[in-house]
């Protein structure tokens, strides 16, 4: 860096030199020729230093700068100091980049850097192991040209969203399951993260198989116990009142266990079965009218006010039985947990963003800390009250799984002592067009 301005000193030297040449030339009667000669010599002097500078930069600027005088000494020293600072920064950045790459290589998940065109720019060692890319042969190639799984190609073509993920088999080993996420960053760049979830998938399959097998095995003994209890409880058997009360308790619990088995089997089917075909059209408005009548019958002596608000006659492309199961779970929950004389409202709305089915009640409400866990299996806000109503703790889990099969989601809002709102949001592609 040049701290002092060298130009005043340089200009003074040039003025003194030209003045001296002019005086000498004037004394000899050759003033113009003397000035021209002085300017030519000055230009040759400058050209000499320009040649030194060019040779220094062209050959190797790492050695010491050439010797200069006046303005050129300041220029050579300034360039040399800037080069030293640049080399120092480059060494620091190189060390930092090396440490960063070592740390990313230590991560067990595959990490790939993609540009806006989907071309691979860099990846870690885990990505080579999981996805099969090779460095540097595959640098600059499009990932979807190497990883040609149909779901992966569609996922790469979609807008990157860190909240979305995709489970696909690895390209080199179909037995290896990968969880893929695309995270946008920087200017139109994307970070692909591939995680090995093979062990988690196998554990999940073992859990599902265990639940399904146990549920099937429980169905037969429960049916036998329930049938025997019904037979023994018949009036012609002449049982005493205490005996009939005990058999009534057995019948009540076997019915509850049968409902639990049915819900477990349905969850297993939802988790393992294929997504339903999108061709079936469900008349949601007609279904809600039937559910409103069921809710009024379920309310019975508690005399709830069941309101139906249908803003559109548009339907949904879905499986009617699954959709009815999800909606009836929400409606029955609202009736069970709303005090006598309360209000339960069923809403159906459609717009450009999709469709919404809402169940709004004036019930007891739910504390905020419980809302995120309501769709977990067997999670209960009030275990004693839920058992008393005959619930299995699987209703909202079933609702969540059914909605997920149609890319829909459940939104829950509730205030203690005021009531709750359960809203099913369906995407526009699941809604039938207006007739």
Q: How do residues 365-393 score in pLDDT, each as one tens digit?
A: 888 888 888 888 877 776 555 555 556 67
Q: What is the mean pLDDT of residues 403-412?
A: 90
Count CB-CB contacts under 10 A for residue 334. 26
Give the per-residue pLDDT at 291: 92
CA-derived radius of gyration, the chain = 40
The rounded percent of the chain whose pLDDT value lies above 90 is: 14
CB 76 within 8 A of CB 68: yes
Chain length of the chain: 435
Cα–Cα–Cα angle for 168, 172, 176, rounded to 5 degrees:
45
Give the per-residue pLDDT at 61: 54
pTM above 0.75, yes or no: no
Give the per-residue pLDDT at 288: 93
The model's confidence at residue 58, banded by pLDDT at 50, 70 and 90, is confident
Q: What is the mean pLDDT of residues 96-121?
A: 81
Give the per-residue pLDDT at 390: 53
- Residue 344's SS3 state is strand
DSSP letter assigned to residue 366: -
The model's confidence at residue 98, banded by pLDDT at 50, 70 and 90, is confident
Walk across the sheet containing 120-123 and list its strands: 120-123, 110-114, 189-196, 177-185, 166-169
The answer to whether residue 123 scores a pLDDT higher than 80 is yes
Q: Is 432 exposed, middle or buried (0-12, 13-18, 19+ CB in 10 A)?
A: middle
Tokens 């640049």 sit at which residue? Answer: 86
Residue closest to 298 by CA, chosen among 266, 325, 334: 334
Give the per-residue pLDDT at 24: 79
The model's confidence at residue 162, banded by pLDDT at 50, 70 and 90, is low
CB 270 within 8 A of CB 235: no
Mean pLDDT of the chain: 82
Q: What is the mean pLDDT of residues 146-155?
A: 83
Rounded CA separation 314/321 (Å): 18
Over residues 275-318, the pLDDT tens digits come to 776 667 889 999 999 999 999 998 888 889 999 999 888 889 88
CA torsion sign, 381 to 384 to 388 to 390?
Answer: positive
Q: What is the mean pLDDT of residues 27-34?
A: 77
Q: Which residue has the higher pLDDT, 290 or 22?
A: 290
Strands 419-426 and 409-415: antiparallel
Tokens 């050209």 sit at which residue? Answer: 47
Residue 122's DSSP bridge partners are: 113
Rounded CA separation 371/331 (Å): 17
The CA-atom distances, in angstroms, between 338 and each of 24, 283, 300, 319, 410 are 115, 27, 13, 29, 20
CB 335 within 8 A of CB 300: no
Tokens 């939802």 sit at which residue? Answer: 270
List CB contacts of 172: < 8 A, sequence separation 6 or more. Answer: 131, 132
Give the per-residue pLDDT at 387: 52
Lowest mean pLDDT among 189-203, 235-249, 397-411: 235-249
136-144, Cβ contacts within 8 angstroms, sequence gap of 24 or more: 142/117, 142/118, 143/112, 143/114, 143/118, 143/119, 143/192, 144/118
Q: Which residue has the higher pLDDT, 356 or 3?
A: 356
Rounded CA separation 412/356 (Å): 13
- Residue 284's SS3 state is helix
Give the per-residue pLDDT at 384: 53
Residue closest to 382 by CA, chosen among 393, 372, 396: 393
Q: What are phi and psi of 112, to 5 degrees?
A: -125, 140
Rounded CA separation 44/51 (Å): 10
């Amino acid at each position: 860096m040049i701290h002092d301005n060298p130009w005043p000193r340089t200009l003074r030297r040039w003025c003194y030199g030209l003045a001296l040449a002019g005086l000498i030339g004037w004394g000899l009667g050759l003033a113009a020729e003397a000035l021209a000669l002085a300017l030519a010599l000055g230009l040759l002097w400058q050209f000499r230093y320009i040649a030194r500078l060019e040779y220094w930069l062209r050959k190797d600027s790492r050695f010491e700068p050439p010797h200069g005088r006046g303005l050129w000494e300041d220029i050579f020293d300034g360039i040399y100091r800037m080069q030293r600072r640049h080399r120092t920064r480059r060494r620091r950045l190189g060390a930092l980049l090396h440490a960063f790459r070592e740390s990313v290589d230590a991560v067990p998940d595959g990490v790939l850097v993609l540009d806006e065109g989907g071309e691979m720019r860099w990846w870690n060692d885990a990505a080579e192991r999981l996805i099969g890319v090779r460095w540097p042969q595959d640098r600059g190639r499009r990932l979807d040209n190497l990883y040609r799984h149909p779901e992966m190609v569609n996922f790469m073509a979609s807008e990157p969203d860190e909240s979305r993920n995709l489970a696909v088999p690895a390209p080199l080993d179909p037995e290896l399951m990968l969880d893929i996420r695309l995270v946008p960053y920087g200017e139109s760049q994307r970070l692909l993260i591939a995680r090995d979830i093979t062990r988690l998938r196998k554990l999940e399959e073992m859990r599902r198989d265990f639940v399904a097998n146990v549920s099937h095995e429980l169905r037969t003994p429960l049916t036998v116990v329930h049938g025997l209890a019904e037979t023994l409880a018949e009036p012609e058997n002449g049982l005493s009142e205490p005996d009939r009360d005990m058999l009534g308790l057995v019948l009540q619990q076997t019915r509850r266990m049968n409902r639990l088995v049915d819900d477990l089997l349905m969850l297993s089917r939802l988790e393992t079965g294929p997504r339903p075909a999108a061709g079936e059209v469900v008349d949601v408005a007609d279904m809600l009218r039937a559910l409103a009548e069921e809710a009024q019958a379920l309310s019975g002596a508690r005399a709830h006010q069941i309101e139906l608000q249908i803003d559109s006659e548009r339907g949904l492309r879905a499986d009617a039985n699954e959709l009815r199961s999800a909606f009836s779970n929400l409606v029955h929950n609202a009736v069970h947990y709303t005090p006598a004389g309360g209000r339960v409202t069923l809403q159906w709305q459609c717009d450009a963003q999709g469709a919404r089915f809402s169940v709004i009640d004036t019930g007891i409400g739910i504390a905020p800390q419980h809302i995120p866990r309501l769709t977990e299996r067997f999670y209960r806000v009030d275990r004693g009250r839920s058992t008393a109503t005959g619930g299995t703790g699987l209703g909202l889990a079933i609702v969540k799984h059914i909605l997920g099969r149609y890319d829909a989601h459940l939104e829950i809002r509730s205030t203690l002592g005021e009531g709750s709102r359960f809203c099913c949001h369906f995407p526009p592609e699941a809604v039938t067009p207006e007739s």
